[in-house]
Amino acid sequence: MANYEIRVIPKVDASGITYWTASFPAIDGCVGGGSTAEEAIREAEENLEIYLEYLESQNIDIPTAYEETQYSGKIALRVSKSTHKKLAEKSADEGVSINMIINNAVEHYLGMSEYNCKLDAKIRTIQTMTGYSIKLQQDNLTINQQLLWNQVNEGVPVTVFGGEE
């Protein structure tokens, strides 16, 4: 299979659950999804293979494979005058270039986005496990209450907090 560029993006649904989508920019509509990035990529690659086989069977031209884009590292950026002033002041205070301030801010943002998605997933896992734990405790309490009730009804002496009832 040809090497197609794949983009993997975390998304959050209306209930706050993070899921991942994977798509191929060169192949419109060929996507995958999953609860992890790996699942989304795996599904997208499976769908891509099926789609390419279909195109071939129909004698339809197969889209060109990925050719790595060369990035210059240069971006033209427009900001408001007040933002420019704040950047210049921060740059002077820290003794670094405005470019370095902007680059650090972008890197921080990109890192935080990835971190937040991973953190959200861990929080949901903890919430799920806490819910299971509470349910288990409730079930145990119900069982213990039933056992105690059965013992009382059968006339079995029951010790409660160190004393007899």
pLDDT (tens digit per residue) in 44-99? 999 999 999 988 899 988 887 766 667 778 888 899 999 999 999 999 998 988 98
pLDDT at position 155, please? 81
pLDDT at position 160, please? 64
pLDDT at position 117, please? 74
Q: Is the pTM of this model over 0.85?
A: no
- The contacts of residue 74 (CB under 8 Å, 6+ apart) are none
In a domain, 73, yes or no: no
pLDDT at position 144, please? 86
Q: Does the pLDDT of residue 104 top 90, yes or no?
A: no
In a domain, 22, yes or no: yes
Domain extent, residue 143, equals 97-152
Strands (DSSP E) found in 15-138 = 18-24, 27-34
Least confident range of 13-27, 51-65, 67-81, 148-162:
148-162
Q: Does the pLDDT of residue 163 top 60, yes or no?
A: no
Confidence of residue 147 (pLDDT cuts 50, 70, 90): confident
Q: Are 4 and 52 in contact (CB under 8 A)?
A: no
Task: Give the Cβ contact number of residue 138 at 10 Å.
Answer: 10
pLDDT above 70: percentage of residues in the chain: 90
Classify residue 63 by burial, with Cβ atoms within 10 Å: 0-12, 13-18, 19+.
middle
Q: Give me the chain's average pLDDT, please.
A: 84
In a domain, 135, yes or no: yes
pLDDT at position 107, please? 82
In a domain, 161, yes or no: no
In a domain, 86, yes or no: no
Tally the domains of the chain: 2
In a domain, 134, yes or no: yes
